[in-house]
Structure 1
Amino acid sequence: MKIDDLLTTLNIEMMIDKNIKNMGIKGIADNSNDVEIGFVFVAIKGYQVDGHDYIADAIQKGATLVIGEQQIQDIDVPYIKVENSRKVLGIISKQFYNNPSKDKLMIGITGTNGKTTTSYLIKHIVEACGKTCGLIGTIQNMINGKPIPSFQTTPSALMVNKLLTESKDDVVIMEVSSHGLSQHRVEGIEFDIAVFTNLYHEHLDYHHSMEEYFQAKLLLFDHLKPNGKAVINTDNEWGNRLAELLRQRDIPTFSVGEAEKNEVQLKDFAVDLSILYAKEEGKSIEVVIPIPGIHNMYNTMMAYLSTRILPIPQETIREAIQSFTGVDGRFEKYKQGNSPTVIVDYAHTPDAIFHCIASAKTFGAKHIFHVFGFRGNRDTTKRPQMLSLTAKYSDQYFLTFDDLNSISENEMEKTLHELNRKFGNTNKGNIVPDWTLAIQKAIEMANEGDWVIITGKGHENYQQSFELQTPSDKETVQYILNQLAEEKITN
């Protein structure tokens, strides 16, 4: 591709020498470390690093053209000033890689909770039909059956286009975050199916209001292909509103919910949440829920409806769902001998925490011990509700340190005590700064029949050192349970 082709794509007429316009482009980079001779460098101002500060470095490494937002003069290569570098990165990436999403069956999933579990369920169902399925998401990216580390729920438009170009998969599923949508990380990506799981209080440090958060999620549906379809959970008030908006746009919209108007109507479920009774096209169906929790009932049915409209036969989907074994860090259960049941879950919103605790009660937990923390410099507006919920529904809870980021230990400990006094229950609440010791204390206090629920980290590795020096909740829980088992044998 020539530089002139990119200029045409951007609808920009620049006074650039004809010989330069005809120069071939070998690649695109938004990180100067990735620049090679013949590359276009797109300077993006991030939250911690400003790409404009690295323009000289990119030129030294061989950048042929630089695109950015600032007014810059006296550099040795052509420079194009644009209004939004992130958006332009998506536009030129789509052009450079020849719009790879157009030839894939693309499924995009957005929502506060449930994106990861729903995406893995859909992947499992698709593969049960003998199709290959790629995945771009929170835990990892999976292309052509090979895992690739994931550093963001939704990577940059440049990375997405690279991954899609490499992919030989029949279907590709993407988790699409509100940050990714508002920052144009899916600019130029086209979806066959867009899925909305729910919307709850989260990320208001970034979006400022629920309405702004909703509008960011709504952007996904602007990326549907001409014959694209939407799948919506209407048992969430925002989902109900979204379904109405999409139908007004004449976008084919399929919904899951308790109301009779839904394509899949949820009727009832077994006491232990293991089976859901629903209706599809007026006919009763039973669907086994493969992983515990009310929230996972919705995740399962969102995956069910998404794959029904691919289309995949109903019986094939139901059989595939039964063999699904779960997702790393999503309501993972651990139990040894007569130890309490321990749950590790990524839940980090009030709604997700409520569903974890409610599910434990449904499964007959005698007492509930909840371990969780708050991240430094992250959405503080959800903290009172999270604390009030656990103070009301758990028997004991343990407030601890999550990722501190730039907040000091003393400041975070003081914050935890203040929050507990204002919104918690000082008779139930325990402040244990060390995350691993908080888990240890909760498990040691609990008895057989009790449930210990650890929320907030899920699959993630710890970002700081703790007393037990285990890398994640999974290893911490296993270490503590093994220690307790050895002590009982010794005694």
Structure 2
Amino acid sequence: MKLEVLLEAIGANYPYTPLPDIKGIQMNSKQVTNGDLFIAVEGFEVDGHAFIDQAVEAGAVAVLGEQRIRNLNVPYIRVSDSRKALAELANCFYGYPHRKHTMIGITGTNGKTTTAFLLKHILEKMGKTCSLIGTVHNMINNQQLNSKNTTPDSIELNRLLDISQDEIVIMEVSSHGIQQQRIEGIFFDYAIFTNLSHDHLDFHDNMWDYFQVKSRLFQHLKPNGKAIVVTDNEWGGKMQDFLIKESVPTHTVGRYPHDELQLKRICAEYHSIAQYQIEQVLHQVKIPLAGEHNIWNTLTAILTCHEMGYKQENINNTLPSFKGVPGRFERYTHKRGAIFIVDYAHTADAIEYCLLTAKMQQFNRIIHILGFRGNRDISKRKEIIRVSTSLSSIVILTLDDLNGISQNEMINQLENLRSEFVDKEILIIPDRTKAIQYAWDFADTGDWVFITGKGHEQYQQNFNLPCESDPSVIRYLQEVNDEN
């Protein structure tokens, strides 16, 4: 592609000719090959401007950045915001690929992944082909691809949209992805807000800032696009009010008469039966996943499909065959009758939803295994332990990803947290696999054991047992017990 065409897309120009043809766009100097345009982005840990020389040596034929750079032997285009330019250039380079798809974007603290998987399942049962871009993995043209971030960087995102031949693309959109302008230039037919709770306050200044970043997704609606909002939480109501003031077509899921899809009644079993009303007609559906939070995830998917023109009966008939989401309320049965749950929950709200699911059943004890990631939002930790100890018989604190913090320092942080709950039964077992093994050996009939925080994710450090994730520890312990 001609560099002139790319520069025109961002309203920039370079006064000298001739300009080179561009074969690719890169923001990582290590990935540059001959003919690429290198975008120097000032990141949170490294500054791309420091790697301009390496990019040129690797074959970059032009460079774009924010700093004043002289004496470069390839064209250098200076812009005020290279991160925004990166997204717009990637969009142009790949031919604005979002335009060929029906685009669904989902944002919120919790529920993005489950809602995305539910939508994909329902729509494929309706005969549509769907791409999925999110936390667990990416699925493009029925091929599973690894996912590095919930929302990929703008180059990778546009590349995935370009290679996708699927009719519908369902995307999880994180606050990091919005704030870092990864979705700049991409527009959605449907934008969904699930909820907001205390999380990522190491990245956002406060909850209001977090909310405002999330609300920016709705600036990316296509001219006839629609917003879907869950109002059964404080921030959902605020989002509805904000969108109405902004004249955004908004459809809501909640418990109130003014909600387009109104939850009327729940019959609480392991998998709940929900009665809801839409267009003055009552419907009943068996929720395919346990927990109140999954009632809202399911109803959100139902309303979205309703807005896409599908009939309620047909939507509801697809749900019994839904098999769940890796690392989201994955259930395992112990040989003594205990139930083990592996879940990604890492906020107080999400953990409370998980533990309350056991409270709705017949149970003996609730045992909760959790850890905290190093160099991550420490302001939420005490509230998480407060919620856990209020609902659990035993809490086991263990290690999550250290992220550069020493193991001893993380253990000290856990000890300090435990000291604030002296009247609660809290154990500290640093090795995550041994913590799970302890609960496995300890659990008995009727116990519910929750292992939260990582879900499907692989461990970032070595532990005692030869396992790479929480589910693999459970499977390992099942195999060992079978052999014995």
What is residue 134 of structure 2 aligned with on the other side?
A: 137
User: For 1:118, which of 104, 110, 115 is the aligned residue?
Assistant: 115
1: CA distance, partners of 2:92 / 2:330: 42
AA aligned to 2:17 is K
User: For 2:404, which of 399, 403, 406 is the aligned residue?
Assistant: 406
AA aligned to 2:328 is R
Query: Residues 420 and 426 of structure 1 are in contact (CA less than 8 Å); yes or no, is this contact kept in structure 2?
Result: no
2: CA distance, partners of 1:7 / 1:388: 53
Deviation at 1:482, TM superposition (A): 3.5
What is residue 2 of structure 1 aligned with on the other side?
A: 2
Deviation at 1:426, TM superposition (A): 4.9
Deviation at 1:49, TM superposition (A): 2.6
1:348 maps onto 2:346 in alignment? yes
Give the alignment of 1:24-423 within 5 angstroms: 24-272=21-269, 273-422=271-420
Match of 1:265, SS state, is strand
Q: Could you give the per-residue CA deviations for residues 175-220 of structure 1, whole angstroms, max 9, x where no partner exists?
A: 0000000000101111000000000000000002000000110110
Identity %: 47
2: CA distance, partners of 1:302 / 1:431: 38
AA aligned to 1:122 is L
2: CA distance, partners of 1:70 / 1:469: 48
CA RMSD of aligned residues (A): 1.2
1: CA distance, partners of 2:217 / 2:13: 30
> Quick check: 176-185 or 410-419, which moved more?
410-419
1: CA distance, partners of 2:36 / 2:408: 47
Return 5+ residue gaps in structure 1 as ranges. Answer: none
Using the size of structure 2 for normalisation, the TM-score is 0.98
Deviation at 1:425, TM superposition (A): 4.3
> Quick check: 74-83 or 195-204, which moved more?
74-83
Deviation at 1:486, TM superposition (A): 4.5
1: CA distance, partners of 2:212 / 2:442: 44
2: CA distance, partners of 1:162 / 1:427: 51
Deviation at 1:483, TM superposition (A): 3.1
2: CA distance, partners of 1:26 / 1:465: 41
Deviation at 1:440, TM superposition (A): 1.2
1: CA distance, partners of 2:8 / 2:242: 34
1: CA distance, partners of 2:190 / 2:181: 19
Give the alignment of 1:469-480 within 5 angstroms: 469-480=466-477
1:468 maps onto 2:465 in alignment? yes
Deviation at 1:484, TM superposition (A): 3.8
Q: Could you give the per-residue CA deviations for residues 55-109 of structure 1, whole angstroms, max 9, x where no partner exists?
A: 1121112212101122211111111122221110111111111211112100000
2: CA distance, partners of 1:83 / 1:236: 38
Change (3 A) 1:478 1:339: farther
Deviation at 1:310, TM superposition (A): 0.9
2: CA distance, partners of 1:322 / 1:252: 31
Deviation at 1:122, TM superposition (A): 0.1
Deviation at 1:359, TM superposition (A): 0.6
Match of 1:207, SS state, is coil
> Quick check: 460-469 or 38-47, which moved more?
38-47
2: CA distance, partners of 1:70 / 1:330: 44
Query: Residues 105 and 191 of structure 2 are in contact (CA less than 8 Å); yes or no, is this contact kept in structure 1?
Result: yes
> Quick check: 108-117 or 27-36, which moved more?
27-36
2: CA distance, partners of 1:136 / 1:183: 17
Match of 1:206, SS state, is coil
Give the aligned length. Answer: 483
Deviation at 1:287, TM superposition (A): 1.3
2: CA distance, partners of 1:362 / 1:38: 61
AA aligned to 2:7 is L
AA aligned to 1:429 is I
Deviation at 1:50, TM superposition (A): 2.2
Return 5+ residue gaps in structure 2 as ranges. Answer: none
2: CA distance, partners of 1:108 / 1:425: 44
AA aligned to 2:379 is T
AA aligned to 1:18 is T
Query: Residues 391 and 425 of structure 1 are in contact (CA less than 8 Å); yes or no, is this contact kept in structure 2?
Result: no
Match of 1:63, SS state, is coil
Query: Residues 29 and 55 of structure 2 are in contact (CA less than 8 Å); yes or no, is this contact kept in structure 1?
Result: yes
